[in-house]
């Protein structure tokens, strides 16, 4: 675990860069984390996915997989890969400040 | 991270449920991790992308030690259908998609899906036999070109 300062906020992150405490998250921090992941600008579609992931995490205790995102977030799997080319569930979870989603499908 | 896997090509050569699913799960999992993935269907693996056959993929109950049943029992009429039904039920409980849905999902993730030309010819199949998601019927040589620079998995 490492404590880092992102956009002036103190964030605890694990070795892979996922947040230890989702409550340390805010939109400014998300924008910076997205840049680290190669996403220069978060569009309204990105935010739709990010907010959906946080909602799911707080309701269910884990972030959704790509398949579930495609079925329930209102953003198709194709679009998800355009928004987050390096793996939608994983990268979106990182930007959304929630732990890495588990699951093989 | 210099040894991170950036690209995989997965060859599916068997037409049984247990021969097809692992390859699909590996390909989908690769894309979920942001790894480039291509699927190459050859020999009986073609059934996985065959419009009419893909919905009737069965578990092999004969010659499959994983079934933990005597070969004679496994060979009884209907045994494969029963085992397949049970396996499908179990997979549904774990939210694993059916083969047709899985193919659509994998295609949407941007993975490439190719059929082996030699096998397609051998079985007398044509492009119209296959799902629309298929990216092409290609030679083994073409496949190696697509796979260049990545890992190749044979299932």
Residue B87 parent element (H or E): helix B79-93
Query: Within 10 A of B23 (CB to CB), how many other CB atoms are there?
Result: 23
For B46-68, what is each residue's pLDDT tens digit?
Answer: 999 999 999 999 999 998 999 89
For B98-123, what is each residue's pLDDT tens digit?
Answer: 999 999 999 999 999 999 999 999 99
Reported ipTM: the value is 0.90
Instruction: Please tell me which of the candidates B28, B32, B109 has its beta carbon nearest to residue A90.
Output: B32
Residues A50, A96: contact at Cβ < 8 Å?
A: yes
Separation between Cα atoms, residue A14 and residue B127, nearest integer Å? 48
Q: Least CA distance to A84: which residue of chain B?
A: B34
Q: Choose, out of A38, A67, A94, the residue to mutate when testing the contact with B (most B CBs < 10 Å).
A: A67
For A46-96, what is each residue's pLDDT tens digit?
Answer: 999 999 999 999 999 999 999 999 999 999 999 999 999 999 999 999 999
Separation between Cα atoms, residue A89 and residue B64, nearest integer Å? 35
Residue for token digits 């070109």? Answer: B145
Residues of chain B in contact with residue A87, where contact means CB-CB under 8 angstroms, are 31-34
Separation between Cα atoms, residue A88 and residue B28, nearest integer Å? 12
pLDDT band (50, 70, 90) for residue A105: confident
């Amino acid at each position: 675990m490492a404590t880092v300062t992102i956009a002036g906020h103190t964030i605890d992150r694990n070795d892979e860069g996922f947040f230890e405490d989702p409550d340390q998250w805010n939109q400014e921090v998300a924008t910076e984390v997205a840049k680290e992941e190669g996403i220069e600008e978060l569009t309204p579609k990105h935010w739709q996915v990010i907010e959906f992931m946080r909602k799911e995490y707080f309701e269910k205790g884990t972030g959704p997989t790509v398949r579930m995102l495609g079925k329930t977030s209102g953003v198709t799997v194709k679009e998800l890969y355009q928004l987050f080319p390096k793996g939608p569930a994983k990268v979106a979870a990182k930007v959304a400040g929630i732990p890495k989603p588990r699951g093989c499908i | 991270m210099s040894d991170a896997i950036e690209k995989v090509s997965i060859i599916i050569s068997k037409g049984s449920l247990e021969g097809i699913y692992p390859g699909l799960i590996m390909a989908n999992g690769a894309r979920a991790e942001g790894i480039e993935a291509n699927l190459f269907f050859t020999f009986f693996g073609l059934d996985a992308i065959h419009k009419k056959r893909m919905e009737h993929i069965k578990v092999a109950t004969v010659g499959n030690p994983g079934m933990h049943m005597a070969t004679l029992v496994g060979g009884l009429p209907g045994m494969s259908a029963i085992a397949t039904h049970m396996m499908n039920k179990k997979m549904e409980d774990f939210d694993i998609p059916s083969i047709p849905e899985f193919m659509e999902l994998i295609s949407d993730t941007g993975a490439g899906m190719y059929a082996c030309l030699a096998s397609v010819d051998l079985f007398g199949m044509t492009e119209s036999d296959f799902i629309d998601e298929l990216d092409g019927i290609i030679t083994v040589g073409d496949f190696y070109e697509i796979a260049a620079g990545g890992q190749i998995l044979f299932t």
